[in-house]
Structure 1
Amino acid sequence: MHAVIVANAPWRWRPDLVALARGAELLLAADGGANLLAAVGLRPAAVVGDLDSVHPSVRAWLGEEAMLARPDQERTDLDKALAVAIEERGATTVTVLAATAGRLDHAFENLGLAARWRRQAAISVVTEDGVLVPVLDRVELATEPNQLVSLLPLGRIQVWTRGLRWELDGQTLDPGTRISVSNRATGTAVEVRVAAGALLVFLAGARAGC
């Protein structure tokens, strides 16, 4: 089952992303993400979190039955929404929207969550200019020839690739020392494999669901 989760960062809707959210098998809002959905007339199956960011008019429009309170202050609202989608509702693929703009600390935490939950579901995070996909073992992603692809390690990690202009064959990437930014796809698919740890693949200009 495919779930779409809308977080609460600043967000500009594109027609393709409205269509993605509308067509999701499961549509969830992480707290104030409900306000973003309401702005385009979409009702989530549930609003998950401590519910302190939901506008009163949106809460009234959705009804209390849509409010899924999770008051745990040790977890973020996106973390709670991912738990509901994956552990409670059985989602196997998740697309996260509105998670990377705004405050840098929130964006960093949200990307870490995507990497952690990748052990239980296929996750992609849509940004305003592309898509981020966490990799913990191996992933194959659809690309366009010459599409910009960046590999962003979350720690020291060995990486192998296939389908990039500048391939990696077991080289070590390390934040602040060596990363792979602005590589290019040579065809219609890129394979990325890591030995241990976590890596984010950024596909510039990619549409959701890649």
Structure 2
Amino acid sequence: MVEKGCCPVHCLVSDKDSDNKFALVILNQPLEPQRGILKNLWSKALFKACADGAANRLHDLSDHEDPKNTCDFIPNIITGDFDSAKPEILEFYKKKGSEIVPTPDQDETDFTKCLREVLKRMSGQLDSIVSLGSFGGRLDHVCANFNTLYLAQTFTEMPITLLSETSLAMLLPKGKHKLQVNTGFEADWCGLIPLGMPCLHVTTTGLKWNLDDQPLEFGKVISTSNTYDGSGTVTIENDSAIVWTMGIKCQQ
């Protein structure tokens, strides 16, 4: 359940010493366009993890040849079946102190397995987990990332946020939710997407086009390209799980 007064972009707003402790999971997508948001998240995350080939991306982004470089990204763990991560890069990070955790099980994605490994190590120390590199690239991978949001409900109550340099998504379980959207990191657009199943009763406040006990279902009506009414707060009441998505301002 998203707590009353939840700020969807808390990971961008808060500092490392804030009350909201989060882990950062890097997924296997190009990181150069996301360098700004990566630096922001990295500086604040309590724990950092790479899912398989994300280690290659992270290594390519760092300037390891510059002895004055202060932005080396050394994750706490790298997990996966390692069909993408290069052996020499895994060895590089191992020497830097990263824990290398093979997870060969093919019944789950590297992202899902990475979440499980993070939770094993950080149980009771985190308030949420944020993934970067969640959108773009292969459509089946994007769908798998959304599926992980649903799967994660079976092994944790912790909120999981999907991020890219311009978009955010999180799963709102059945119930009432209050979102703070006045931090300055929000872009103009937002939406409510009923992935996996219809959401037959959705009521909102704080949007330009509010929903009043509206059924949302693919093949019928879904809520996209909405925006805010300027109040700074959005409330949502939904009778089944639904994806909240919103734009965030690109960071340099």
TM-score by length of structure 1 reads: 0.88
Taking only aligned residues, the RMSD between alpha carbons, in angstroms, comes to 2.2
* 1:148 equivalent in alignment to 2:189: yes
Measured after TM superposition, the shift of residue 88 of structure 1 is 4.2
In the alignment, which residue of structure 1 is the partner of 2:3? none
What stretches of structure 2 of length at least 5 have no aligned partner? 1-20, 63-71
TM-score by length of structure 2 reads: 0.75
In the alignment, which residue of structure 1 is the partner of 2:235? 191
Q: Distance in 2 between matches of 1:4 and 1:178?
A: 34
Of the two structures, which has the highest relative contact order with CA contacts closer than 8 Å and spacing of 6 or more? 2
Q: How many residues end up aligned between the 2 structures?
A: 207
Q: Which residue, out of 43, 47, 51, partners 2:82? A: 51
**Distance change >3 Å, CA 44–CA 146, structure 1 → 2:** closer
Measured after TM superposition, the shift of residue 13 of structure 1 is 2.2
1:31 maps to a residue whose letter is D
Return 125-134 or 15-24, whichever deviates more.
15-24
Q: Distance in 2 between matches of 1:160 and 1:136?
A: 14
Measured after TM superposition, the shift of residue 87 of structure 1 is 4.4
- Which has the larger strand fraction? 1
1:61 maps to a residue whose letter is F
Task: List per-residue Cα deviations over 1:164-199 (Å, max 9, x = no partner).
Answer: 111112211001211011111112121222112x21
Q: Distance in 2 between matches of 1:190 and 1:51?
A: 41
What stretches of structure 1 of length at least 5 have no aligned partner? none
Q: 2:213 is paired with a residue of what secondary structure?
A: strand
Instruction: Judge conservation of contact 2:94–2:100 (CA < 8 Å) in 1.
Output: yes
* 1:103 equivalent in alignment to 2:141: no
In the alignment, which residue of structure 2 is the partner of 1:34? 55
Q: Distance in 2 between matches of 1:71 and 1:104?
A: 23
Q: 2:207 is paired with a residue of what secondary structure?
A: coil
Q: Which residue, out of 103, 106, 119, partners 1:73? A: 106
In the alignment, which residue of structure 2 is the partner of 1:164? 207
In the alignment, which residue of structure 2 is the partner of 1:63? 94
Taking only the aligned residue pairs, the percentage that are identical comes to 27
In the alignment, which residue of structure 2 is the partner of 1:94? 129
Q: Distance in 2 between matches of 1:124 and 1:49?
A: 20
Q: Which residue, out of 8, 28, 46, partners 1:25? A: 46
Instruction: Judge conservation of contact 2:202–2:212 (CA < 8 Å) in 1.
Output: yes
